[in-house]
Amino acid sequence: MDGDIFWAHSGPMETFETLVRTEFAPKNTYLNTASTGLLPARTVTAMRAAVESVAAGQPADMFADVEAARSSFARLVGVPERRVAAGASVAVYSGLIAASLPPGAEVLTAEADFSSVVTPFHVRGDLKVRAVPLERIAESVHSGTALVAVSAAQSADGRIAGLEAIREAAREHGARTYIDASQAAGWLPLSADAYDYVSSVAFKWLVCPRGVAFLVVPEDLGGLTPVFAGWVAGETPWDSCYGPVEELAHSARRFDESPSLFAYAGARHSLELLEELGVERVRDHNLALADRFRVGLLQRGHEPVTAPGSSIVSVPGLGGLQPELSRAGVEVSDRSGNLRAAFHLYNTPDDVDRLLDVLPG
């Protein structure tokens, strides 16, 4: 199936095609979104305008862009915007949650999960951090578990956590849930309302500039203390610039980091594009490509890591080919010795076939 046949649809898929082709024109076979997503043209234009406004001494109101991005992300994950904090790093938000736990609390994590998710709980030094295989998370929750912290999709190999079972097990035992959606938000439909805390960077599948991240907290703000609060955490930020903030924001904005404004100037447009495309359609598109790649791998004698329903496909033992593939114009990742290919909205069957053509076998 070549690219033209793949795109030969009418109705909603035609809109999908038109939007994607308008916004993206990679000059190589780019299959590395799990590392960094490509920026849409509209995002590049907005960032350029923001930079030029500052150079001209007439800065645009980029704080309005932060609020627009916050609202757009909230809609994408199905929560009110008052529950969304805006920042730049998952590690910072993991640290915020870690700081809220009492000494001796047990945190259940997945073995070899991404370091930004788990390290802040380890460096506390007085928490009991227990790691189990991803597939055993739900069955490993018990009455002494205070928090379950896990990535929705594993960075190293694309395996998807059994989120529904984890949520139910946590509820049964009175534990809170913390889900990192960095490798899922943008292609995997996710209702953040089902969990206590959900974090995500936006420079991967949400195709935003680096420097944008979000945290979803419960309606009651989840018992978190805004330990890194600055003036942007005030209920009225511009009246909170000097001395201690007298009134913290009544919403999750009290957990905002001082924003990387140029990044947010672009991010609002990236997130609006994903809203236009629809996460469900992005998922269907991505999984069709990932499945095509899996079939081609098996035909060539390569067994990928089992990760059904994932946009990420990892192939053990082939990670060392990454530099060679890059020189051939095909961008993938080497993660833990695995060749990791990530399929997103701007990819086509031709990209899949190109990667298969340059692999051994």
Q: What is the pLDDT of residue 10?
A: 42
Domain with CATH 3.90.1150.10 in the chain: 3-40+278-358
The answer to whether the CB of 176 falls within 8 A of the CB of 100 is no
Q: What is the pLDDT of residue 14?
A: 64
| Rounded CA Rg of the chain | 21
pLDDT digits (tens, 9 = 90+) for 71-102: 999 999 999 999 999 999 999 999 999 999 99
Mean pLDDT by 10 residues, the chain (361 residues): 39 79 97 98 98 98 98 98 98 98 98 98 98 98 98 98 98 98 98 98 98 98 96 97 97 98 98 97 98 98 98 97 97 96 98 97 81
Report which DSSP code applies to 106: E
Q: Rounded to whole angstroms, how far apart are CA atoms 75 and 227?
A: 27
pTM: 0.95
62-276: in CATH 3.40.640.10:
yes
CATH superfamily of 3-40+278-358: Aspartate Aminotransferase, domain 1 (3.90.1150.10)
273's tokens: 């594009």
Domain with CATH 3.40.640.10 in the chain: 62-276
Q: What is the pLDDT of residue 361?
A: 81
Contacts (Cβ under 8 Å, ≥6 apart) of 314 = 156, 157, 158, 304, 305, 307, 335, 338, 339, 340, 341
